[in-house]
Amino acid sequence: MSTELNQYRQFMKPAEIHKAVNSLIGIIEGIKLDLTVNSAEMDEVINWCNLQRPFQKRFPFSEILLVIDAALEDDFLSKDEIEDILWLCKSSINNTDEFNIYYDVTTSSIQQLHGIIHGIMADNTLKDLEIQALMEWLKEREFLKGTYPFDEIHALLTSTLEDGVITEDEKNLLRGFFGNFIDTRS
């Protein structure tokens, strides 16, 4: 990283850490929506880890990266390992006053939604189960109404699910929107 970027980042550390952890929570939640973890989805977790490696000596990355690295040693993420990672991430951000100063539940939820979409799209497939589970996640967070991209995703999913049949055209529309919302380069 450039010196200029490092100087800038020193002022953003708490915000960046919170966003990164919320993003990982979302990625893991998105990956587990279809009840299977494939290699492309594990690559998404590995990519997240690689982006955080420069901060591996700093809490909470020092603990999170250690747990993820151990979980990935066998090239498989079990349900228990996924739940352990989620628990660690959630406790890292929920039990730190520094994080609570910078973020509220809306910001955290939108960051997690971003991560969920990354997790869902990691394998470039969109399954009916993932669409239905994402809609359930949104229904549990109605307080996000009026926040981008909640309303847009909610409207697309409502339209997709209203007739009880999810067509390939509807999946393509969702994939297109998700592709515009997430940065697939990171």
Q: Are 118 and 112 in contact (CB under 8 A)?
A: no
3-state secondary structure of 162: coil
Ramachandran bin of 159, using left for φ above 0, alpha for ψ from -120 to 50, beta for the remaining angles: alpha
User: Could you tell me the maximum CA-CA distance found in the chain, to the nearest angstrom?
Assistant: 54
Each residue's pLDDT tens digit, 52-102? 998 888 888 999 999 999 999 999 999 999 999 999 999 887 765 555 555
Q: Check whether 185 has a pLDDT greater than 60.
A: no
HSE toward the beta carbon, residue 132, CA cutoff 13 A: 9
Q: Which of 44, 20, 24, 22 is CA-nearest to residue 123?
A: 44
